[in-house]
Structure 1
């Protein structure tokens, strides 16, 4: 028996439907201009522009220097592997909680999509002064601890390719100096951890280590974030050791599924 055609919901919301259709176009077909979107949807350009701007705001789209739109970090992550992100979260959450219990600071798991880093899991500590839940937030990768760890796993050619394709639609001034970035990534690669002191957010220090998946490639970064007033450099070796233990636990929990 043939499956019946889908029927629209009784209380269909046209604007939501339009936004979802644009998101599908961006993910499946590539870049799109305001004029393209307006023609495909049969709406005014002003309406298409508002829809695209909302998708940009929620990271489903990104606008390039040529004013066209492309799939944003959320759609890029979905295309990369939604199931992989889900597996990472499931494996990481118990270890993030143990980190919080052991160190008393908020813990995060972060992945990379292009030149951006997205927090996909977060566990807050219970201290009154703390770094809040970061889940779902997106930052330039070179400004976050885990983002730097993920970039450090790229070869020189891969790094060049990633930044050659970037548009910096949100903040063009945030484009990094690749020469200086390469030097920093070499240092991080050798150290095996990264420290971010106020780079992504003023008054916040984050310390992170890589999480490796199949083929020993870095698939995520696990980090602890704390107010800078509580950061003590003398405690760094102990914090890094706790992070490495958590990363090893996440990797072990991923291994049966990778094998």
Structure 2
């Protein structure tokens, strides 16, 4: 059984004695329980790349409002970052706590610092995606915040791979037979789709292989994205991408954007070994 407060002076020695001597009015509310919950959340983020408010509430067995306040404190101090849909991901301060050898080596934790680097350098929203059937799953991401909030993070979303820059970069790594097997009934119909048949997709993928990166405007009418495949550990097929609202897309600097993406992809591959 745990309690929020100890009787004044009970079991207290040294540095702890000063807290015991304080009156109840001087102590912060839930002064042990709240710290314990915050540390529990920090420990959870060392084992997984992201948490929602409801997941944090379930983990702590508290109300969502309590979990939200704790997550906001971690956000304020840089231990986590926040995307859309109440998804929180590890922040740079949490990544710096453990020595490199002790940090988790899953792909998402390795990629996150590189995504922040892309976000800050290219002023766009950066994602890590993986191929899931003929869809692309957004595993983790970091958002470039501007007044439009159009190119927000899509962490957790599964969208048709052929509509996404990162998705097409992954599809371009597949052979013709593998690609055909993914679309036995043809390409799924999408609202903004510009590629509607397997033949059109095959042609687009040939161009992507030739230039080494993919572009996309199919997923949303106001979003432009560029993606490159990631040399992730087999059998994972992954990619990184950066997206901007149309009016912010740096079209005149596409070469520099691609160079930055390729450099980061190479750095990630080296780090993953």
Q: Shorter chain as normaliser: what TM range?
A: 0.5 to 0.7
Q: Does 1:109 align with 2:159?
A: no
Write 1 or 2 for the structure with the bigger share of helix.
1
| Change beyond 3 A, Cα 1:185–1:252 | same
Alpha carbons 1:115, 1:166 under 8 Å: kept:
no
Matches of 1:218 and 1:150, distance apart in 2:
10
Alpha carbons 2:138, 2:156 under 8 Å: kept:
yes
What aligned pairs does 1:49-64 form with structure 2 within 5 A after superposition? none
Consecutive unaligned residues of structure 1, counting only runs of 5 or more, are: 1-85
Matches of 1:247 and 1:150, distance apart in 2:
13
What aligned pairs does 1:188-227 form with structure 2 within 5 A after superposition? 188-197=208-217, 199-214=218-233, 219-227=237-245
2:130 partner SS: strand
Alpha carbons 1:195, 1:207 under 8 Å: kept:
yes
Deviation, 1:129, is 2.7
Consecutive unaligned residues of structure 2, counting only runs of 5 or more, are: 1-104
Q: Does 1:96 align with 2:115?
A: yes
TM-score (norm 1): 0.59
1:110 partner SS: strand
Q: Does 1:163 align with 2:180?
A: no
Matches of 2:137 and 2:152, distance apart in 1:
15
2:267 partner SS: helix
Partner of 2:262: 244
Partner of 2:158: 138
Deviation, 1:219, is 2.1
Deviation, 1:128, is 2.5
| Change beyond 3 A, Cα 1:167–1:98 | closer
Alpha carbons 1:104, 1:127 under 8 Å: kept:
no
Deviation, 1:166, is 7.7
Alpha carbons 2:186, 2:197 under 8 Å: kept:
no
Alpha carbons 2:186, 2:198 under 8 Å: kept:
no
Deviation, 1:254, is 1.1
Deviation, 1:167, is 9.5
From the CA coordinates, give the structure whose radius of gyration is larger.
2
Partner of 1:126: 145
Q: Does 1:228 align with 2:246?
A: yes
Deviation, 1:97, is 0.4
Matches of 1:189 and 1:167, distance apart in 2:
20
Matches of 2:221 and 2:158, distance apart in 1:
16
Matches of 2:107 and 2:196, distance apart in 1:
28
Matches of 1:218 and 1:205, distance apart in 2:
25
1:154 partner SS: coil
Deviation, 1:203, is 0.4
Structure with greater contact order relative to length (CA < 8 Å, sep ≥ 6) = 1
Matches of 1:135 and 1:214, distance apart in 2:
21
Deviation, 1:176, is 3.9
